[in-house]
Amino acid sequence: MSRIGFVGLGNIGKPMALRLAAAASSGDVELWVYDVAPDPVAELTAAGAKAVGSVRELGALVDVVCVMVRDDDQVRAVAEDVGAGPVLVVHSTVAPDTPAELGAGGLTVLDAPVSGGPMGAADGSLAIMVGGSDEAFASARPALEVMGSKVVHAGPLGAGTRMKLARNLIHFVAFTAVTEAQRLAEAAGLDLRDLGEVVRHTDAITGGPGAIMHRDTAAPIEPGDFWYDVFDHVRALGEKDLSFAIALADELGVDVPLAREALPRLGKGLGLT
């Protein structure tokens, strides 16, 4: 039986811990929880978890401590109180050097940030990106697989955080592109909610930006490689449509700096010369 502790019962941490509590009710997991706010602790205890009065107390009871708190300083405070006994699994998104800093302090650490938001946490469909040793990963894996449907051991300590930052670069640059597209659509007299429905519908079919992420390298593609013709087709379509969108923006007086940056960079970024 896995003895798991969970610290930080916020918008994402609470539904993650509730998934573990459901597993605890089946007898596969023993779960202890701690948070400074009493209400989520009460909800977890009603779901079958056991509450403790401090992080230090929790660290003495469990084999694995999952942490989902606000920032690096809170992670450090939890790590100091947990001590060197259990595996510390940091689900918070922290600075790239924080996992190694924690590991250098004598703790056994996994950095395991998540992607999927409160919805993914609630239904157990999170992607969890893990950095750390094989032994620590094996210890935490049963708990991780309760909380996420895609658990990736990305590499040594720090790799999970680096993967999360790369993933979120896509996320927030894409959000910025969406704001640009919305301004263009609004100036063109379009319904932005209808546009949003189209985007969500087609991204669910094509995979969105992830649709081009199948190669194992970002190096240039040699002519004759299978991916060369595939991405050359993507480039041709992209350059055509970006050119048309920029022309429409010029006609309507809308600033589209990301589109202008993307047009000359698309082919090279895809690996085409």
| Whether residue 109 sits in one domain with residue 179 | no
Q: Mind listing the pLDDT tens digit for each residue in 97-149?
A: 999 999 998 999 999 999 999 999 999 999 999 999 999 999 999 999 999 99
- Tell whether the torsion through CA atoms of 115, 120, 122 and 125 is positive or negative: negative
Domain of residue 23, CATH code = 3.40.50.720
CB 91 within 8 A of CB 66: yes
Determine phi and psi for 148, rounding to 5 degrees: -135, 145
Where is 76: in which H helix or E strand?
helix 72-82
Q: How confident is the model at residue 1 (pLDDT cuts 50, 70, 90)?
A: low
- Range of 221's domain? 164-270
pLDDT of residue 26: 74
| Whether residue 10 sits in one domain with residue 101 | yes
| Whether residue 183 sits in one domain with residue 136 | no
Q: Partners of 30 in the beta sheet?
A: 3
| Whether residue 14 sits in one domain with residue 134 | yes
| Whether residue 146 sits in one domain with residue 53 | yes
CB 131 within 8 A of CB 154: yes
Q: How confident is the model at residue 273 (pLDDT cuts 50, 70, 90)?
A: confident
In the predicted structure, residue 251 carries a pLDDT above the cut 80: yes
Q: How would you label 34-62 residue by residue, b for 16+ Cβ within 10 Å and e otherwise? A: bbeeeebbebbeebbbeebeebeebbebb
| Whether residue 173 sits in one domain with residue 144 | no
Answer with the one of 157, 186, 211 that is the final residue of a domain. 157
Which one of 150, 164, 240, 268 is the catalytic residue?
164
Report the number of distinct structural domains present in the chain.
2
| Whether residue 186 sits in one domain with residue 135 | no
Q: How confident is the model at residue 15 (pLDDT cuts 50, 70, 90)?
A: very high
| Whether residue 96 sits in one domain with residue 179 | no
Q: Is 164 a catalytic residue?
A: yes
In the predicted structure, residue 28 carries a pLDDT above the cut 80: no
Q: Mind listing the pLDDT tens digit for each residue in 183-239?
A: 999 999 999 999 999 999 999 999 999 999 999 999 999 999 999 999 999 999 999
In the predicted structure, residue 25 carries a pLDDT above the cut 80: no
Q: How confident is the model at residue 80 (pLDDT cuts 50, 70, 90)?
A: very high
In the predicted structure, residue 27 carries a pLDDT above the cut 80: no
Average pLDDT value for the chain: 96
Stretch 53-79: mean pLDDT, rounded?
Answer: 96
Domain of residue 233, CATH code = 1.10.1040.10
| Whether residue 258 sits in one domain with residue 187 | yes
Answer with the one of 108, 130, 157 that is the final residue of a domain. 157
| Whether residue 140 sits in one domain with residue 193 | no
Answer with the one of 157, 190, 223 that is the final residue of a domain. 157
What is the distance between the terminal CA atoms of the chain, rounded to a whole angstrom?
A: 55
Stretch 23-50: mean pLDDT, rounded?
Answer: 92
| Whether residue 190 sits in one domain with residue 148 | no
| Whether residue 37 sits in one domain with residue 104 | yes
- Considering the entire predicted model, what is its pTM? 0.93
